[in-house]
Amino acid sequence: MSGAEFVPLSLTPILIGVFAAIACALPGNFLVLRRQALIGDAISHVVLPGIVVAFLITGTVSTWPMMIGAAAAALLAVLLIEAIRRLGGIEPGAAMGVVFTTMFAGGVLLLERSDTSTVHLDVEHALMGNLESLIWLDAFGWGSLLDPEALAGLPPELFRMGLSMIGVIAFVWLFWRPLKISTFDEGFAQVMGMRTNLIGMSLVAVSALAAVAAFDAVGSIIVIAMFICPPAAARLMTNRLAAQVGWSVIFATLSAVLGYVLAGYGPLWLGAEDSVSAAGMIATVSGIVLGLAAVFGPARGGTQG
């Protein structure tokens, strides 16, 4: 494939997909180890009510209000789950189920009641994103990477997602030790003077940030899949945390690239004319990677290694 075709049409969606995948997979490692893997699931379901409310308040479909709305909804959901879990003495899974389904129901209801059908705001978009449309029309080939004029036309999602990924990397790098220690042994971490509640909440907040940044570009499906599949597959490859995180980044990248390519070109190879959902395909590929790791991963078994 020539650069003239690849750079404008595929480079930016692939990069955005990779950034989103890594931004979600990194905190996902700790969520999986803390048995909180489904927080990602809960967060991505409440994104919908968040953007609907943001739309109702501002009356426009613009990125920032919607992102803020989604982030606020994610935060509210996390607080509600925690409150219901503690106040009601309910196990976390059930508390999560109560909160995210109710908020999702509220979002759907608001969507139906308000006249949003005329604008581009629908459930499908929130679920599947629109990775394929994030193309770089100003590019003509690899040379455009050095052309300031063309660079100015890069889709803004690329920068948002890139920044979010850098933010997530910075968080994990900076708080590596507290995250590791409090995940392994909370009581010990507390006696060492670590604010374990604060660490846990920050992890969830950073996950929410990644999810919110990602849903807009790639939809919630990728978000849930990337929070869980690459870290889970990585856990089956190694017994070292640092190596696990490394593997998860590799798997996330692999899923994003392979999924995008398969969605775009796979049907053509099979003789069909149209491509299929890239978000769905990326999730599917990550599932295949996990399946392979579950069968062949060197550290797949129980404690016997």
Q: Which residues contact 233 (CB under 8 A, 6 or more apart)?
A: 247, 248, 251, 286, 289, 290, 292, 293, 294, 297
Question: Of these, 36, 130, 144, 164, which contacts another protein (CB under 8 A)?
Answer: 36
Nearer to another protein, 1 or 191 (CB): 191
Q: Which is nearer to another protein, 139 or 263 (CB)?
A: 263
CB of 62 or CB of 197, closer to another protein? 197
CA-to-CA dists, residue 98 to 90, 175, 277, angstroms? 10, 31, 30
Q: Are the C-beta atoms of residues 127 and 214 closer than 8 Å to each other? A: no
CB atoms within 10 A of CB 166: 12
72-111 residues in contact with another protein (CB under 8 A) are 84, 86-91, 93-98, 101-102, 104-106, 108-109
Per-residue mark of binding to another protein, 229-248 (x: CB under 8 A): x-xx--xx-xxxx-xx----
Query: Taking the complex as a whole, how short is the minimal distance between the CB of residue 98 and another protein, in angstroms?
Result: 6
Q: Which stretch binds another protein (CB under 8 A): 144-152, 158-166, 176-184, 204-212?
A: 176-184
- Which runs of consecutive H residues, i.e. helices, occur in the chain? 3-6, 12-33, 38-58, 63-88, 92-113, 123-128, 148-151, 156-174, 176-184, 186-191, 196-218, 220-235, 241-269, 278-296
**Cα–Cα distance for residue pair 15/157, rounded to 1 Å:** 10
Report the run of H or E that residue 297 belongs to, with start and end. none
Question: Which is nearer to another protein, 11 or 127 (by Cβ)?
Answer: 127
- The contact mask relative to another protein for 112-151 (x = CB under 8 A, - = no) is xx---------xx--xx-----------------------
Is residue 33 involved in binding another protein (CB under 8 A)? yes
Instruction: Report if residue 188 touches another protein, rule: CB under 8 A.
Output: yes
Q: Would you call 276 helix, strand, or coil by DSSP? A: coil
Contact between 170 and another protein (CB under 8 A)? no
The closest alpha carbon to 171, from 27, 280, 289, belongs to 27
Query: Residue 63 or 197: which CB sits closer to another protein?
Result: 197
Q: Nearest Cα to 84, choosing from 67, 105, 101? A: 101
Q: Which stretch binds another protein (CB under 8 A): 9-17, 53-61, 164-172, 268-276?
A: 268-276
Rounded to a whole number of angstroms, the minimum distance from the CB of residue 122 to another protein is: 9
24 vs 67 by CB, closer to another protein: 24
195 binds another protein (CB under 8 A): no
- Least Å distance, CB 143 to another protein, is 33
The answer to the question of residue 290 lying near another protein (CB under 8 A) is: yes
Transcribe 187-240 into DSSP letters. HHHHHTT--HHHHHHHHHHHHHHHHHHHHHHH-HHHHHHHHHHHHHHHHTT-S-
- Between the two ends of the chain, the Cα-to-Cα distance in Å is 44
Q: Where does this chain touch another protein (CB under 8 A) — which range of 7-15, 59-67, 209-217, 267-275?
A: 267-275
Determine which residue in the list 13, 41, 70, 131 makes contact with another protein, applying CB under 8 A. 41
Please, which of residues 47-66 interact with another protein by CB under 8 A? none
Of residues 218, 51, 210, 61, the one with CA closest to residue 133: 218
